[in-house]
Amino acid sequence: MAINLEVPKKHRALVDQAHQVAMNMLRPISRKYDIAEHEYPKELDMLAAMIDGLSESGASEGAGATGVRRDADDGDKKASVKNGANLASVTSVAEMCWGDTGLLLSMPRQGLGNSAIASVANDEQLERFKGRWASMAITEPSFGSDSAAISTTAVLDGDEYVINGEKIFVTSGERSDCIVVWATLDKSLGRAAIKSFVVEKDTPGVKVERLEEKLGIRASDTAVITFTDARVPKDNLLGSPEVNVEQGFAGAMATFDNTRPLVAAMAVGCARASLDLTRDLLKEAGIEVDYDRPAILQHAAAAKFLQLESDWEAGRLLTLQAAWMADNRKPNSLEASMAKAKAGRVGSDVTLSCVELCASIGYSEEELLEKWARDSKILDIFEGTQQIQQLIVARRILGLSSAELK
């Protein structure tokens, strides 16, 4: 099956629209909400309504968090190549993060919880949770990237699950309508018993304890949420309620195969913002980046810029590949982790290096370069850290289980 990693023709209008939104709506309010941490960006309501309208009309081609889904089999069309919802999502998300990553994460109904629902919900659940804003609650005080260590419990009682536990670093935890909560049905059965549940925010026993003050993505609210005997309808369990020990953690981890390319795309967009501005500032300083001459024959700053840009391009291509594979129903766990690892690291390297290349302008609040350096750091951490992604890649390449390679 051939793959062309240029932006597909049918998605170009969408990408152009996202770029215009990033430039004209997000950039102008970027600094305002970076300073006013925890204040809700009201300007996003109109933008979210526009996106909802495009989705209803089909004009968005499945872009955004709710577009992340594996298409059904096509029967006789299995051999055809698709550029579908996942590719539309990563390309549009990258453009929006060229504007502002924190504001993109604050967009109503475009949270990572929405991605989780779109990834694994059945058709009835997709319809029932349509139009809701979902945050995602995985991390707990006792662990970071090791999702298998989840201790939040979900115990079936009649037609409801009773959930108890504490979740930290819940993006949009205060603003969302509902939360996708990862919990274990039976701790003794290990990873296979971990399931995700959609929990309404007004459920008795659900409490937002506090909001975190953070290094970056300050426009996005990040909450600590506790669950005390919170009762959830059993139909709110996403995917199969069966515990398949042979399948292990694969059911829950399927969510990450679709959301990790999204986070990689965020890093790609934020890093490109830094590169674009740095190129302009270098030019103003009399340093022209020449793509027709070897880097070694150019100014040291230009040579460094070319190296950063080549690293960025590798991250971008891996991200597009992971999304394309999801659109074409190919297993992409390895590629999703490779994309997240490369783009996450490159995002941090590029944005911080651009601060350095631009000296005092980069370090001051005169431009957004220092902000992008702060924002990009989280993209190398959440949805699985750099180190976890490298561990997953090693396991896949070597054919080893999580027990065999820790």
Condensed to tens digits (0 to 9), the pLDDT of residues 308-326 reads 999 999 999 999 999 999 9
Report the C-alpha gap between 52 and 131 in whole angstroms: 8
Instruction: For residues 158 and 231, state if they share a domain.
Output: yes
Mean pLDDT, residues 275-303 taken together: 97
Cβ atoms of 33 and 39 within 8 Å: the answer is: yes
Report yes or no on 392 lying in a domain. yes
pLDDT score for 84: 84
Say which range, 139-148, 164-173, 299-308, has the weakest mean pLDDT.
139-148
End-of-domain residue from the set 188, 216, 238: 238
Instruction: For residues 279 and 168, state if they share a domain.
Output: no
Report yes or no on 243 lying in a domain. no
Instruction: For residues 256 and 370, state if they share a domain.
Output: yes
Mean pLDDT, residues 87-115 taken together: 93
Instruction: For residues 207 and 292, state if they share a domain.
Output: no
DSSP 26: I
Instruction: For residues 277 and 352, state if they share a domain.
Output: yes
Active-site residue flag, 174: no
* Sequence-ordered list of residues with C-beta below 8 angstroms from that of 370, at least 6 positions apart, any chain: 355, 362, 363, 364
Mean pLDDT, residues 273-288 taken together: 98
Instruction: For residues 177 and 298, state if they share a domain.
Output: no
Say which range, 11-15, 46-50, 309-313, has the weakest mean pLDDT.
46-50
> Which residue has tokens 């490159």?
346
Total count of domains within the chain? 3
Instruction: For residues 204 and 310, state if they share a domain.
Output: no
Q: What CATH number is given to the structural domain containing 345?
A: 1.20.140.10
pLDDT level of residue 119 (50, 70, 90 thresholds): confident
pLDDT level of residue 291 (50, 70, 90 thresholds): very high
Count the Cβ atoms, other than its own, within 10 Å of residue 378. Answer: 26
Report yes or no on 273 lying in a domain. yes
Instruction: For residues 139 and 271, state if they share a domain.
Output: no
Instruction: For residues 258 and 354, state if they share a domain.
Output: yes
Instruction: For residues 294 and 231, state if they share a domain.
Output: no
Report yes or no on 405 lying in a domain. no
pLDDT tens-place string over residues 342-401 = 999 999 999 999 999 999 999 999 999 999 999 999 999 998 899 999 999 999 999 998
pLDDT score for 58: 61
Instruction: For residues 258 and 317, state if they share a domain.
Output: yes
Comparing CA positions, the residue from 363, 344, 343 lying closest to residue 353 is 363
pLDDT tens-place string over residues 146-166 = 777 899 999 999 999 999 999
> Measuring CA to CA, how many Å separate 359 from each of 17, 347, 370, 375?
33, 19, 11, 19
| pTM check: above 0.85 | yes
% of residues, the chain, pLDDT over 70? 90
Report yes or no on 4 lying in a domain. no
pLDDT of 251 above 60 = no
Mean pLDDT of the chain: 90
> Measuring CA to CA, how many Å separate 217 from each of 29, 104, 149, 172, 239?
13, 9, 26, 11, 31
Annotated active-site residue in 61, 166, 367, 383: 383
Instruction: For residues 87 and 153, state if they share a domain.
Output: no
End-of-domain residue from the set 184, 204, 238: 238
End-of-domain residue from the set 217, 238, 259: 238
Mean pLDDT, residues 121-128 taken together: 92
Instruction: Provide the pairing of β-strand 153-157 with 206-211.
Output: unpaired
152: domain range? Answer: 134-238
DSSP H or E stretch at residue 114: helix 112-120
Q: What CATH number is given to the structural domain containing 219?
A: 2.40.110.10
Report the C-alpha gap between 319 and 305 in whole angstroms: 21
Report yes or no on 403 lying in a domain. no
Mean pLDDT, residues 204-227 taken together: 97
Report the C-alpha gap between 127 and 32 in whole angstroms: 36
pLDDT level of residue 74 (50, 70, 90 thresholds): very low
